[in-house]
Chain A
Amino acid sequence: MTNEFYKELEELLESGEPAKDKLEEMWSNHKQKIKLVSPNNKRKHEIIVIGTGLAGASAAASLAELGYKVKALTIHDSPRRAHSIAAQGGINAAKNYQNDGDTIYRLFYDTIKGGDYRSRESNTYRLSEVSLEIIDQAVAQGVPFAREYGGMLDNRSFGGAQVSRTFYARGQTGQQLLLGAYSALMKEVDKGNVELLTRREMLDLVTVDGKARGVVARNLLTGEIEKYTGSAVLLCTGGYGNAYFLSTNAKNSNVTAAWRCYKRGAYFANPCYVQIHPTCIPQSGDYQSKLTLMSESLRNDGRVWVPKEVGEKRHPNDIPESERDYYLERKYPSFGNLVPRDVASRNAKYVCDEGRGVGSTGQAVYLDFADSINRLGKDTIEARYGNLFEMYERITGENPYKQPMRIFPAIHYTMGGLWVDYNLMSTIPGLHVLGEANFSDHGANRLGASALMQGLADGYFVIPYTLGDYIASNDLPEVSTDNEAFAEAEKTVSAQYDKMLSINGNKTVMEFHRELGAIIWDQVGMSRTAEGLTKAIEQIRELKKEFWTNLKLTGEKNTYNKYLEHAGRVADFFELGELMAIDALHREESCGGHFREDHQTEEGEALRNDEDFSYVAAWKYSGDDELPSLIKENLEFDFVQLTQRSYK
């Protein structure tokens, strides 16, 4: 089938998952069957790890412990800067330390249901299974998780679950887990098993005989294009939320490494599945460079409301109870303020669309702690959320102990990413993709406190096994950087920078990025329509043309040049943005973070179409002037019953 925007191919993708007899035995059976590499041979293999966030640092450290020679590249000046550091709320694990009935199956079930039945059962179950070991590992590294007075680990509850299974370190869980993985990485650097290459940006993947055998990367200090060879490449480069310009992602987060792999033949799966986080600090002006997230753990003790009346102008503390609408508690009595992120975000948009939004822009809702402060005391609330309250006050100048916070949704996480099989390998042999950069475990929506879990699961407990299988099963003769594939890749990336520097137009890269982001946010954001998406594709194409003819970039390429780096990334966001819109247009259903206005229930909830869309949409690049091709992986559900998600 071919239409205006894409071609559909007949072939189907296979996950390579083991036989699905018993869910709880799949991973252990798989581990028993896959091949091992002997210690002598491991030493002969260099593994290139791109990115040093939770997935990359944990993978690099664990593979080095096993005896592989690892090269770890990061765009940052230190591995510890990776954006995993910013995760606040916590990490899930089915430890059942609370005796509240949690099991591995229940975590699996919550994740599948939370993902709106668009993830692979086998991957998600494995994720839940290894969650237990992640906590053990982190504690052994000295990660200072919150504890109870008896000395045992404390847990909190989180959106989308009815048990308390979230482990946390104040509001800095991502920081502490990343510092744990970073310390493990530095331990291996000290031993000489990892070569750490900071301030390097991967710009292309090099394949030899169809296998991923190296990368070219720009040295961000000297501008030199460097070449690295290896037996396999692990891409751990995070998500693509910065396509929207305004997001909670750090400014350096980008899609470039993943996108260049896509252009070398790795399929990109479900690009339209993005997550919008309900509790961010609202935008204050057009100079805004990013949005700040506050952990959704705040919803444990905060109550979300807006005034009942449109046009209410009173100070929130002066609005009596009877004139407030606690809309989440009203619409979803059993989950209340703890409904999943997509439901919470969409409902915030609805009340703002009705004109009941608050604050100077009307694009915000209240998150109110007055009841919790009365019930538990200010000290308890301060112990739980002190740093978040301080951060809020620092940014807005308002004190949330005395008046409700104002919050609004923002792009936060991307469930889509490079397609991988059960072994986390992409469609290019030898290219493995871990963490947020892959598409695998969260379906169409990710539950809170599951990103840290997935990044570390992939790095500590999956890839050390599955990479061995690839290495042992393939003939991997040494390759040299003299190979012409390296020269070709170097030429391509150099030429792109030369081109961008030579345009000398009138619009800065920041202006282009902001404009692109606004198009994607408006049409490929919280709520989507066929007309809007079609329009967005046109607008993105036009703006992309202008980018390549009217970009204003100064400075040189053979030196530190942040705006040049940025321009290269924005060039890729244009192409990705178009594919996101095409994917969203093709998926004629609503599921999780993908909400099509033409596919909703009478109550305004996401309406899936399991008959026609119970598949992973993987996109294949066919050339800059060719339409992308759609290739499906059918999702089969043998252990859970597909139901309409309900949090009422």
Chain B
Amino acid sequence: MSSELMTLKLKVWRQESPEDEGRLVDFTLDKVNPHMSFLEMLDVLNEEIIKKGERPLEFEHDCREGICGSCALVVNGIAHGPQQSTAVCQLHMRHFNDGDEVVIEPWRATAFPVIKDLVTDRSAFDRIMEAGGFVSVRTGSAPDANAMPIGKVTADQAMDYAACIGCGACVAACPNSSASLFTGAKLSQLALLPQGEPERKTRVRRMVEQMDIEGFGDCSNHAECQAVCPKGIDISAIAKMRREYIRSFF
């Protein structure tokens, strides 16, 4: 790690449209400050591209503080880049060295088609949520919040699973492009809580079936998802999902 300005050799995925084949394009970027975030580095590159009269790189971003789940870049082959438990918007350039080659690609999965450059369509996740990632409680019909005690340990565990930001890195990292960690996290959160009980069986069946419909693969325990998850969601979510699924038939 250095505090000196760096020069980086970037290889960035460019693709005009979903139909376009796409290719890696080389850029050299100098004066990269180690305190910059990765996305700020791309901002600087885009300023140079625009000044040359060319079309800037498209990449998805919003909160830039690791919570909205918009940013989605594969950096040197790793979803969200080299720093563990970190969305790429929170990755800082101090983790790179002068002269490094940095390859930047979009999520790659059948269920996440590329829209343009580094932007993919992740609406499949919304449809999985739509299939059952909720408790059917009408506004205004809830009992007092303290009417149902929930042990601290259980509540904390539910929160661990609820921390998912829906970025899709788990899918991007999985050799099968499985959405099991994403789906398992929501199912585990609701299976742990008494609120999730009434719809427990239909929820797991519908969400799991929706994963198949969307074209995600199945889980074969590579655990790559857990390794890249910016929120550290535990792969036990997938075991829980499987248990819930089988349980739903009895």
Contacts and interface: CB of A to CB of B under 8 A. Distances in A.
Nearest to B149: A151
B136 A78 contact: no
A138 B152 CA distance: 17
A600 to B, nearest CB: 34
A142 B135 contact: yes
A133 B140 contact: yes
14 contacts: A86-B65, A133-B140, A141-B137, A142-B189, A142-B195, A147-B151, A152-B146, A176-B159, A183-B135, A198-B126, A395-B90, A554-B49, A554-B56, A563-B46
Nearest to A82: B68
B152 A141 contact: no
Interface string A142-173: 10111111111100000000000000011010
A563 B50 contact: yes
A97 interface: yes
Contact of B123 (A183, A198, A511): A198
B62 A554 contact: no
Interface string A79-112: 1111101100000000101000000000000000
A148 B152 contact: yes
A335 interface: no
Interface stretch (B6-14, B35-43, B213-221, B242-250): B35-43
A226 to B, nearest CB: 17
B119 interface: yes
A285 B43 CA distance: 14
Contacts of A78: 122-123, 125-126, 166
A86 B63 contact: yes
B33 A285 contact: yes
Given A136-B142, A290-B64, A149 B125 contact: no
B125 A147 contact: no
Interface in B142-159: 142-146, 148-152, 155-156, 158-159
Given A81-B69, A139-B195, A186 B39 contact: no
A71 to B, nearest CB: 16
Contacts of B166: 78, 80
B121 interface: yes
Given A136-B143, A179-B162, A289-B64, 13 more contacts: A78-B122, A78-B166, A83-B68, A136-B145, A139-B142, A140-B143, A140-B195, A144-B193, A149-B151, A285-B33, A287-B33, A553-B50, A562-B58
Contacts of A555: 55-56
A288 interface: yes
Q: What 3 A-B pairs come out closest when comparing CB atoms?
A: A151-B149, A140-B142, A183-B134
A139 B145 contact: yes
Nearest to A80: B166
Contacts of B85: 390
Contact of B92 (A138, A175, A395): A395
B80 interface: no
Contacts of A380: none
Given A144-B189, A285-B33, A77 B155 contact: no
A65 B142 CA distance: 14
Contacts of B49: 554
B70 A81 contact: yes
A97 B146 CA distance: 9
B142 A554 contact: no
A285 B31 CA distance: 12
A250 B54 CA distance: 26
A221 to B, nearest CB: 6
Contacts of B142: 133, 136-137, 139-140
A292 interface: yes
Contacts of A150: 149
B94 interface: yes
Contact of B155 (A140, A145, A184, A287): A145
A264 B76 CA distance: 49
Nearest to B32: A287
A531 interface: no
A332 interface: no
Given A62-B139, A251-B61, A552-B50, A186 B126 contact: yes
A554 B121 contact: no
A627 interface: no
Given A137-B140, A140-B195, A285-B33, A85 B146 contact: no
Given A81-B69, A144-B193, A395-B90, A184 B145 contact: no
Interface of A: 58, 61-62, 65, 76-83, 85-86, 95, 97, 133, 135-142, 144-153, 169-170, 172, 175-176, 179, 182-184, 186-187, 189-190, 196, 198, 221, 250-252, 284-285, 287-290, 292-293, 390-391, 394-395, 397, 460-461, 464, 508, 510-511, 552-555, 559-563
A394 B86 contact: yes
Interface in B45-80: 46-47, 49-51, 53-56, 58, 60-70
Nearest to A187: B134
Nearest to B194: A142
Nearest to B157: A144
Nearest to A387: B163
Nearest to B3: A397
B196 interface: yes
Interface in B101-157: 115-116, 119, 121-123, 125-126, 129-131, 133-146, 148-152, 155-156
A287 B40 contact: yes
Nearest to A139: B145
Contacts of B94: 397
Contacts of B141: 140
B44 interface: yes
Given A97-B146, A169-B159, A250-B62, A77 B195 contact: no
B145 A170 contact: no
Given A62-B139, A144-B158, A147-B151, A287 B44 contact: yes
B151 A151 contact: yes
B123 A77 contact: yes
Contacts of B66: 391
Nearest to B36: A287
Interface string B18-33: 0000000000000001
Contacts of B40: 287-289
B190 interface: yes
Contacts of B156: 144, 147
B92 A394 contact: yes
B68 A85 contact: yes
A461 B141 CA distance: 12
B70 to A, nearest CB: 5
A128 B72 CA distance: 39
B199 to A, nearest CB: 10
A224 B57 CA distance: 21
A85 B50 contact: no
Contacts of A58: 139
A65 B196 contact: no
Contacts of A141: 134-135, 137, 195
B139 A184 contact: yes
A370 to B, nearest CB: 25
A508 B47 contact: yes
A211 B98 CA distance: 60
A563 B53 CA distance: 13
A83 B116 contact: no
A152 B149 contact: yes
A227 B21 CA distance: 33
Given A77-B70, A83-B63, A287-B33, A140 B135 contact: yes
A320 B69 CA distance: 43
For B44, B129, B150, B196, the residue with the greatest tally of chain A CB atoms inside 10 Å of its CB is B129
